[in-house]
Amino acid sequence: MTLHRLRDLQNECLNLAGELAQKLSTPANKVDTRDVAHVLERTMCDQEAFWLLRNRRGRMESRVDGYWTSKHEYAKRKIVEKLTNRLYDLRLPAEIVLESQGPNARQDILLIVKKPDGSIKKRAVFEIKTGHGLDFNQLERLMCDDDIVVLMRASTGHVTTLRSRKYDTILIESLRNRIGRVRRLIEGHTYVVQGRDCLVCTNESCPSMRRLSKQGMVVLRNDDFDVDIDAFLKTLPSAVNRAVESIIRETSSEKI
Protein backbone atom coordinates (compact mmCIF):
# COMPACT_ATOMS: atom_id res chain seq x y z
CA MET A 1 0.00 0.00 0.00
CA THR A 2 1.18 3.50 -0.69
CA LEU A 3 1.04 4.10 3.05
CA HIS A 4 2.15 7.73 3.00
CA ARG A 5 -0.35 8.57 0.27
CA LEU A 6 -3.16 6.96 2.24
CA ARG A 7 -2.21 8.83 5.42
CA ASP A 8 -2.01 12.14 3.52
CA LEU A 9 -5.51 11.60 2.10
CA GLN A 10 -6.85 10.65 5.54
CA ASN A 11 -5.46 13.82 7.05
CA GLU A 12 -6.85 15.92 4.22
CA CYS A 13 -10.28 14.33 4.63
CA LEU A 14 -10.28 14.89 8.40
CA ASN A 15 -9.21 18.51 8.00
CA LEU A 16 -11.99 19.16 5.46
CA ALA A 17 -14.54 17.40 7.69
CA GLY A 18 -13.43 19.69 10.52
CA GLU A 19 -13.89 22.72 8.27
CA LEU A 20 -17.42 21.59 7.35
CA ALA A 21 -18.24 20.91 11.00
CA GLN A 22 -17.12 24.38 11.97
CA LYS A 23 -19.17 25.92 9.17
CA LEU A 24 -22.35 24.13 10.26
CA SER A 25 -21.91 24.61 14.01
CA THR A 26 -24.04 27.12 15.88
CA PRO A 27 -24.24 27.96 19.59
CA ALA A 28 -27.25 25.66 19.85
CA ASN A 29 -25.92 22.89 17.58
CA LYS A 30 -22.28 21.90 17.95
CA VAL A 31 -21.04 19.73 15.08
CA ASP A 32 -17.67 17.99 15.24
CA THR A 33 -15.50 16.10 12.76
CA ARG A 34 -16.79 12.70 13.86
CA ASP A 35 -20.38 13.83 13.28
CA VAL A 36 -19.52 14.73 9.69
CA ALA A 37 -17.80 11.40 9.02
CA HIS A 38 -20.70 9.44 10.52
CA VAL A 39 -23.43 11.28 8.62
CA LEU A 40 -21.68 11.15 5.25
CA GLU A 41 -21.35 7.40 5.56
CA ARG A 42 -24.91 7.07 6.79
CA THR A 43 -26.55 8.68 3.76
CA MET A 44 -25.69 9.17 0.09
CA CYS A 45 -28.05 12.15 -0.20
CA ASP A 46 -26.29 15.50 0.28
CA GLN A 47 -29.51 17.23 1.29
CA GLU A 48 -30.22 14.68 4.01
CA ALA A 49 -26.61 14.95 5.21
CA PHE A 50 -27.01 18.71 5.61
CA TRP A 51 -30.34 18.21 7.36
CA LEU A 52 -28.92 15.69 9.85
CA LEU A 53 -25.88 17.83 10.64
CA ARG A 54 -27.86 21.02 11.05
CA ASN A 55 -30.67 19.51 13.09
CA ARG A 56 -28.88 16.73 14.96
CA ARG A 57 -31.99 14.61 14.69
CA GLY A 58 -31.41 10.93 14.00
CA ARG A 59 -33.36 8.69 11.69
CA MET A 60 -35.98 6.42 13.11
CA GLU A 61 -34.09 3.49 14.53
CA SER A 62 -35.41 0.02 15.25
CA ARG A 63 -35.10 -1.11 18.82
CA VAL A 64 -33.17 -4.36 18.81
CA ASP A 65 -33.56 -7.35 21.11
CA GLY A 66 -30.63 -7.53 23.58
CA TYR A 67 -30.08 -11.12 22.40
CA TRP A 68 -27.87 -9.78 19.62
CA THR A 69 -25.69 -7.76 22.00
CA SER A 70 -25.30 -10.75 24.30
CA LYS A 71 -24.18 -12.94 21.39
CA HIS A 72 -21.59 -10.37 20.38
CA GLU A 73 -20.16 -10.05 23.91
CA TYR A 74 -20.06 -13.83 24.32
CA ALA A 75 -18.18 -14.33 21.04
CA LYS A 76 -15.77 -11.53 21.92
CA ARG A 77 -15.01 -13.15 25.28
CA LYS A 78 -14.30 -16.52 23.65
CA ILE A 79 -11.86 -14.94 21.21
CA VAL A 80 -9.98 -13.05 23.93
CA GLU A 81 -9.72 -16.16 26.11
CA LYS A 82 -8.29 -18.18 23.22
CA LEU A 83 -6.07 -15.37 21.95
CA THR A 84 -4.39 -14.60 25.26
CA ASN A 85 -3.53 -18.27 25.78
CA ARG A 86 -2.04 -18.55 22.29
CA LEU A 87 -0.01 -15.37 22.72
CA TYR A 88 1.37 -16.77 25.98
CA ASP A 89 2.22 -20.11 24.36
CA LEU A 90 4.26 -18.30 21.71
CA ARG A 91 5.64 -15.69 24.11
CA LEU A 92 4.52 -12.92 21.78
CA PRO A 93 4.67 -9.40 23.29
CA ALA A 94 1.36 -7.72 22.55
CA GLU A 95 -1.43 -5.51 23.84
CA ILE A 96 -5.14 -6.28 23.58
CA VAL A 97 -7.69 -3.48 23.63
CA LEU A 98 -11.46 -3.99 23.52
CA GLU A 99 -13.79 -1.51 21.84
CA SER A 100 -10.87 0.69 20.85
CA GLN A 101 -11.66 3.86 18.89
CA GLY A 102 -9.28 4.42 15.98
CA PRO A 103 -9.14 7.47 13.71
CA ASN A 104 -11.79 6.00 11.41
CA ALA A 105 -13.45 3.06 13.15
CA ARG A 106 -14.17 1.35 16.45
CA GLN A 107 -12.50 -2.04 16.75
CA ASP A 108 -14.13 -4.98 18.54
CA ILE A 109 -10.74 -6.42 19.50
CA LEU A 110 -7.48 -4.65 18.69
CA LEU A 111 -4.23 -6.62 18.90
CA ILE A 112 -1.03 -4.56 18.90
CA VAL A 113 2.00 -6.77 18.33
CA LYS A 114 5.30 -5.33 19.54
CA LYS A 115 8.86 -5.58 18.27
CA PRO A 116 11.66 -6.49 20.71
CA ASP A 117 12.39 -2.78 21.20
CA GLY A 118 8.78 -2.13 22.22
CA SER A 119 7.73 -0.35 19.02
CA ILE A 120 4.62 -1.43 17.11
CA LYS A 121 5.15 -4.23 14.60
CA LYS A 122 1.56 -4.78 13.47
CA ARG A 123 -1.97 -3.68 14.29
CA ALA A 124 -4.58 -6.38 13.80
CA VAL A 125 -8.28 -6.37 14.60
CA PHE A 126 -11.05 -8.90 14.98
CA GLU A 127 -14.40 -7.78 13.61
CA ILE A 128 -17.16 -9.98 14.99
CA LYS A 129 -20.52 -10.39 13.29
CA THR A 130 -23.07 -12.47 15.17
CA GLY A 131 -25.95 -11.80 12.78
CA HIS A 132 -26.15 -12.04 9.00
CA GLY A 133 -25.44 -8.38 8.24
CA LEU A 134 -22.16 -7.04 6.92
CA ASP A 135 -21.05 -3.40 6.58
CA PHE A 136 -18.44 -2.89 3.84
CA ASN A 137 -18.05 0.76 4.80
CA GLN A 138 -16.99 -0.37 8.25
CA LEU A 139 -14.51 -2.88 6.82
CA GLU A 140 -13.04 -0.14 4.67
CA ARG A 141 -12.58 2.13 7.70
CA LEU A 142 -10.99 -0.68 9.70
CA MET A 143 -8.50 -1.35 6.90
CA CYS A 144 -7.58 2.34 6.84
CA ASP A 145 -6.65 2.14 10.54
CA ASP A 146 -5.04 -1.30 10.79
CA ASP A 147 -2.71 -3.70 8.98
CA ILE A 148 -4.90 -6.78 9.28
CA VAL A 149 -8.64 -7.28 9.70
CA VAL A 150 -9.91 -10.74 10.64
CA LEU A 151 -13.64 -10.90 9.97
CA MET A 152 -15.58 -13.61 11.79
CA ARG A 153 -19.26 -14.34 11.18
CA ALA A 154 -20.09 -16.44 14.19
CA SER A 155 -23.40 -18.03 13.19
CA THR A 156 -22.25 -18.98 9.68
CA GLY A 157 -18.70 -19.96 10.59
CA HIS A 158 -17.16 -17.64 7.99
CA VAL A 159 -13.65 -16.40 8.80
CA THR A 160 -11.54 -14.35 6.40
CA THR A 161 -8.41 -12.24 6.65
CA LEU A 162 -8.17 -8.85 4.94
CA ARG A 163 -4.67 -7.45 4.53
CA SER A 164 -4.97 -3.70 4.11
CA ARG A 165 -2.04 -3.32 1.73
CA LYS A 166 -3.79 -5.60 -0.76
CA TYR A 167 -6.68 -3.15 -1.10
CA ASP A 168 -4.84 0.16 -1.39
CA THR A 169 -6.57 1.02 -4.68
CA ILE A 170 -10.11 1.01 -3.29
CA LEU A 171 -9.06 2.63 0.00
CA ILE A 172 -7.34 5.52 -1.76
CA GLU A 173 -10.14 5.95 -4.30
CA SER A 174 -12.76 5.99 -1.54
CA LEU A 175 -10.87 8.70 0.33
CA ARG A 176 -10.58 10.78 -2.82
CA ASN A 177 -14.33 10.50 -3.42
CA ARG A 178 -15.06 11.43 0.20
CA ILE A 179 -12.75 14.43 -0.04
CA GLY A 180 -14.53 15.58 -3.19
CA ARG A 181 -17.91 15.28 -1.50
CA VAL A 182 -16.86 17.23 1.60
CA ARG A 183 -15.43 19.99 -0.58
CA ARG A 184 -18.75 20.22 -2.44
CA LEU A 185 -20.65 20.49 0.82
CA ILE A 186 -18.32 23.17 2.13
CA GLU A 187 -19.04 25.14 -1.03
CA GLY A 188 -22.78 24.52 -0.61
CA HIS A 189 -23.25 22.39 -3.74
CA THR A 190 -25.59 19.49 -2.97
CA TYR A 191 -27.38 16.73 -4.86
CA VAL A 192 -30.59 15.00 -3.83
CA VAL A 193 -30.23 11.23 -4.08
CA GLN A 194 -33.60 9.50 -3.96
CA GLY A 195 -33.99 5.90 -2.87
CA ARG A 196 -34.98 3.66 -0.01
CA ASP A 197 -33.33 6.10 2.42
CA CYS A 198 -36.20 8.48 1.74
CA LEU A 199 -38.40 6.18 3.86
CA VAL A 200 -36.42 6.96 7.00
CA CYS A 201 -35.34 10.52 6.23
CA THR A 202 -36.44 13.09 8.81
CA ASN A 203 -36.15 16.12 6.51
CA GLU A 204 -39.81 17.05 6.28
CA SER A 205 -39.08 19.97 3.96
CA CYS A 206 -37.78 17.62 1.24
CA PRO A 207 -40.43 16.75 -1.38
CA SER A 208 -38.86 13.30 -1.83
CA MET A 209 -39.46 12.29 1.79
CA ARG A 210 -41.78 9.32 2.19
CA ARG A 211 -43.30 8.67 5.59
CA LEU A 212 -42.80 5.31 7.25
CA SER A 213 -44.65 4.22 10.34
CA LYS A 214 -42.55 3.91 13.47
CA GLN A 215 -40.75 0.61 13.70
CA GLY A 216 -41.07 -1.54 16.77
CA MET A 217 -38.85 -4.07 18.48
CA VAL A 218 -37.03 -6.45 16.13
CA VAL A 219 -37.45 -9.95 17.56
CA LEU A 220 -36.83 -13.34 15.96
CA ARG A 221 -39.77 -15.66 15.49
CA ASN A 222 -39.58 -18.75 17.71
CA ASP A 223 -38.51 -21.13 14.92
CA ASP A 224 -35.87 -18.67 13.69
CA PHE A 225 -34.62 -18.21 17.25
CA ASP A 226 -34.17 -21.98 17.64
CA VAL A 227 -32.19 -22.18 14.39
CA ASP A 228 -30.09 -19.12 15.15
CA ILE A 229 -29.01 -20.03 18.67
CA ASP A 230 -28.31 -23.63 17.62
CA ALA A 231 -26.11 -22.51 14.71
CA PHE A 232 -24.34 -19.94 16.87
CA LEU A 233 -23.38 -22.34 19.67
CA LYS A 234 -22.35 -25.10 17.25
CA THR A 235 -20.23 -23.03 14.89
CA LEU A 236 -18.68 -20.57 17.38
CA PRO A 237 -15.86 -22.82 18.71
CA SER A 238 -14.55 -23.64 15.24
CA ALA A 239 -14.89 -20.02 14.05
CA VAL A 240 -13.04 -18.72 17.12
CA ASN A 241 -10.20 -21.22 16.64
CA ARG A 242 -9.78 -20.34 12.98
CA ALA A 243 -9.96 -16.59 13.63
CA VAL A 244 -7.34 -16.73 16.39
CA GLU A 245 -4.99 -19.00 14.43
CA SER A 246 -5.35 -16.75 11.40
CA ILE A 247 -4.31 -13.68 13.33
CA ILE A 248 -1.50 -15.56 15.09
CA ARG A 249 -0.05 -16.60 11.72
CA GLU A 250 -0.24 -13.05 10.41
CA THR A 251 1.17 -11.31 13.44
CA SER A 252 3.95 -13.79 14.21
CA SER A 253 5.39 -13.67 10.69
CA GLU A 254 8.39 -11.50 9.91
CA LYS A 255 6.55 -9.54 7.24
CA ILE A 256 5.34 -6.11 8.35
Domain regions of the chain by residue span: 3-62+170-199, 67-167+222-252
Per-residue pLDDT averaged across 105-122, rounded? 88
Q: How far apart are CA 182 and CA 17, in angstroms?
A: 7
pLDDT of 60 > 50? The answer is: no
Q: Give helix 3-24 / helix 33-42 axis angle, nearest 10°.
A: 100
| 109 DSSP β-pair partners | 98, 126
Q: Work out the pLDDT band at 82, boundaries 50, 70, 90.
A: very high
pLDDT of 59 > 60? The answer is: no
pLDDT of 36 > 70? The answer is: yes
CB 31 within 8 A of CB 40: no
Q: Work out the pLDDT band at 20, boundaries 50, 70, 90.
A: very high
Per-residue pLDDT averaged across 136-152, rounded? 92
Residues 6+ apart with CB under 8 A from 43: 49, 52, 193, 197, 201
Domain 67-167+222-252, second-level architecture: Alpha-Beta Complex (3.90)
CB 10 within 8 A of CB 171: no
Q: Which residue has the higher pLDDT, 224 or 99?
A: 99
Q: How far apart are CA 199 and CA 220, in angstroms?
A: 23
In this prediction the pTM is 0.79
Q: Work out the pLDDT band at 2, boundaries 50, 70, 90.
A: low
User: For 58-67, 167-176, 185-194, which range has the lowest pLDDT when averaged over its residues?
Assistant: 58-67
